[in-house]
């Protein structure tokens, strides 16, 4: 199931995306839901809208936090001339950094070296603390695509990463949350990032140093995870700059493609 958050008229609404690949010759649609799937039971309203007629927004706005993981792929650590951490390297992004598909990543004047980082994102589905590795699947609502936008020069200058990764618009998520993927499948997904159609990153989640289950266990050992919290699982090798006017797409097999333009800050 693909859970989307969209705008047709009025406030954002949740729905189940029905793609042509699922329906044969029928058009792609969104089956409208009542309520928030992350907050409690929902039901179908009976209304269906053409996917082309709605505007997708971020599939989740974390109520609490976005948890990032650094250097979780060996080749990515190597391209940064950094060691692979023995334990997950954790940082936070504010929920104000979250935007949805099609929304612009804003290039702020404080940086001259803005980078993309295509990543698999895990959406937490229940309140949890100190989750054992073997129970990690029980707290996952689903998976989505992320771009962990980073001001690389500020990351180096500051020493810590809050500013470099925390600007408004620095956490695109989307296009929807895939709830049909199990934990084993999530550990074997292709990740491809393109800039203006040119492939810049090509990796697979099986190359993670620390698995999804390990990340959930590690993070939940020091902070309570809430429904709608997001864990970014790290980026493969191939990071590089984005410039004003570029269009960046991150595609993860089995989930979909997240595309965002780069605009200068007014």
Which pLDDT score is estimated for 150?
A: 98
Give the strand order in the sheet containing 150-151: 150-151, 114-116, 240-241
For residues 14 and 129, state if they share a domain.
Answer: no
For residues 11 and 110, state if they share a domain.
Answer: no
- Kindly state the tokens that stand for 105: 């990543």
| pTM (predicted TM-score) | 0.96
For residues 21 and 151, state if they share a domain.
Answer: no
Across the range 201-224, mean pLDDT stands at 97
Rounded-to-integer distance, Cα 141 and Cα 139, Å = 7
pLDDT band, very low/low/confident/very high, at 77 (cuts 50, 70, 90):
confident
Residue 35: which domain range?
Answer: 2-57
In contact, 117 and 79? CB cutoff 8 Å: no
- Please say if the pLDDT value at position 23 is more than 70: no
For residues 42 and 83, state if they share a domain.
Answer: no
Which pLDDT score is estimated for 20?
A: 79
Q: Domain containing 46 — which CATH number?
A: 2.30.30.370
- Kindly state the tokens that stand for 60: 């989740």
For residues 39 and 89, state if they share a domain.
Answer: no
Nearest CA-CA partner of 57 in 107, 11, 5: 5
- Chain-centroid distance of CA 219 in Å reads 17
Length of the chain: 266
Least confident of 21-30, 85-94, 230-239: 21-30
- Please say if the pLDDT value at position 244 is more than 90: yes
For residues 163 and 216, state if they share a domain.
Answer: yes
User: Other CB atoms closer than 10 Å to residue 119's CB: what's the count?
Assistant: 29
For residues 46 and 70, state if they share a domain.
Answer: no
**pLDDT tens-digit series, residues 136-180:** 999 999 999 999 999 999 999 999 999 999 999 999 999 999 999
- Kindly state the tokens that stand for 262: 């780069």
For residues 50 and 155, state if they share a domain.
Answer: no
For residues 151 and 255, state if they share a domain.
Answer: yes
3-state secondary structure of 244: coil
Nearest CA-CA partner of 58 in 239, 230, 253: 230
In contact, 55 and 6? CB cutoff 8 Å: yes
Least confident of 76-90, 99-113, 193-207, 232-246: 76-90
For residues 40 and 85, state if they share a domain.
Answer: no
Note the helical H segments in 51-135: 74-79
Across the range 253-265, mean pLDDT stands at 97
For residues 109 and 33, state if they share a domain.
Answer: no
- Chain-centroid distance of CA 91 in Å reads 15
3-state secondary structure of 114: strand
pLDDT band, very low/low/confident/very high, at 21 (cuts 50, 70, 90):
confident
3-state secondary structure of 158: helix
For residues 187 and 221, state if they share a domain.
Answer: yes
> What's the mean per-residue pLDDT of the chain?
95
Which pLDDT score is estimated for 74?
A: 86
What Cα–Cα distance (Å) separates residue 189 from each residue in 24, 119, 120, 202?
Answer: 24, 11, 9, 11
Total domains in the chain come to: 2
């Amino acid at each position: 199931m693909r859970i989307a958050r969209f705008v047709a008229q009025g406030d954002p609404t949740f729905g189940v995306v029905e793609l042509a690949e699922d329906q044969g010759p029928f058009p792609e649609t969104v089956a409208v839901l009542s309520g928030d799937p992350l907050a409690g039971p929902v039901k179908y309203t009976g209304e269906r809208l053409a996917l082309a007629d709605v505007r997708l927004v971020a599939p989740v706005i974390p109520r609490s936090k976005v948890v990032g993981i650094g250097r979780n792929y060996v080749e990515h650590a190597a391209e940064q001339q950094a060691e692979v951490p023995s334990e997950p390297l954790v940082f936070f992004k504010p929920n104000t950094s979250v935007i949805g598909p099609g929304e612009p990543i804003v290039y702020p004047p404080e940086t001259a070296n803005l980078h993309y980082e295509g990543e698999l994102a895990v959406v937490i589905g229940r309140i949890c603390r100190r989750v054992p590795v073997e129970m990690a699947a029980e707290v996952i609502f689903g998976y989505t695509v992320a771009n962990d936008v980073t001001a690389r020069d500020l990351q180096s200058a500051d020493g810590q990463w809050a500013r470099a990764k925390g600007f408004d618009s620095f956490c695109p998520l989307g296009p929807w949350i895939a709830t049909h993927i199990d934990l084993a499948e999530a550990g074997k997904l292709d990740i491809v990032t393109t800039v203006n159609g040119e492939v810049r990153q090509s990796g697979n989640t099986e190359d993670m140093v620390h698995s999804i289950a390990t990340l959930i266990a590690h993070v939940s050992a020091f902070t309570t995870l809430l429904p709608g919290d997001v864990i970014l699982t790290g980026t493969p090798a191939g990071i590089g700059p984005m410039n004003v006017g570029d269009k960046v797409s991150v595609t993860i097999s089995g989930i979909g493609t997240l595309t965002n333009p780069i605009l200068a800050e007014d």
